[in-house]
Amino acid sequence: MQQLTGLDAAFLALESPSVYGHVGSVSILNTEGVTEPFDLARLTGLIDSRLPLVPPFRRRLVEVPFGLDQPYWIEDPCFDIEYHVREIALPAPGTRTQLTDQVARLHARPLDRTRPLWEAYLITGLEDGRVAVYTKVHHAAIDGVSGNDLLAAVMDESPDGREIGQLSTPPPEQPPSPISLLARSTCRWPASPCAVRGWPPTSCAPCRRSPAATSGHGCPSSTGCCARAHASCSPTPGCAPRAPRSTPRCHLTVAGPCRRCRSTTSSA
């Protein structure tokens, strides 16, 4: 069992009904010169044989009760590769536009968090007799570098493939009980209190419940955490600090009054 880092847990926390945290890739394969048909059974067998090279493909999440700590990865005791590898056929003539439309629909579906966070689709029916493989993996499981390593582990440069030898996979793990997860979080608190998710609070409750109701500064002007942190400041809209473009607006950590408020206080 391995706990997620703060960055990986953030990719999970930032998901919403309209925003997903997975990344996807499309590979168009040339099947000329292949002695065996590249069908669903062959793709499933290929990925299954390379699973020891791709540990995230067998891990699933275990959430800590009440969200008091970052989730954990465990080896899925009910792993079923046939759930993750699927096949879709494009209608004739199988143009690139049809392929991109189909991939867009597949990418718009969220991943099931009760299973390992990845899916692979064999897309047949492309023009010129080629096939495509669309893969999506959650960003909490891989980053850019490990994503390239994942493709290198599954893909081959020649139709003949390559021998990888006998590799063993880690044994399945039973999910820990909620009591044991809470005990782990309690033990982590004295050593690193800020490591427990949700402390210190980075946004007020109304912001977390209704991001659409927040102002451009991250919190409602009257009830938000920015307003409370700047209670001694002027209630002008420029008082609350603006979120950087790369930071979600409803997850701000207010360190102190903004420059305008400090200058106003010093002049007074």
CB contact set of 6 (below 8 Å; sequence gap of 6+): 70, 195
**Angstrom distance (rounded) from CA 96 to CA 173:** 42
- In a 3-state reduction of DSSP, which class is residue 75? strand
Do the beta carbons of residue 217 and residue 241 sit within 8 Å?
yes
Place of tokens 């189909």: 102
User: DSSP string spanning 14-38?
Assistant: T-BTTB--EEEEEEEE--TT-SS--
Sheet holding 22-29, edge to edge: 22-29, 131-138, 118-124, 85-89
d(CA 124, CA 98): 11
139 noted as active-site residue: yes
DSSP summary character for residue 109: S
Q: Which helix (H) or strand (E) holds 82?
A: helix 81-84
User: Which one, of 4, 9, 3, lies nearest residue 198 by Cα?
Assistant: 9
Active-site pick, 22, 84, 138, 139? 139
Tell me which residues are annotated as active site: 139
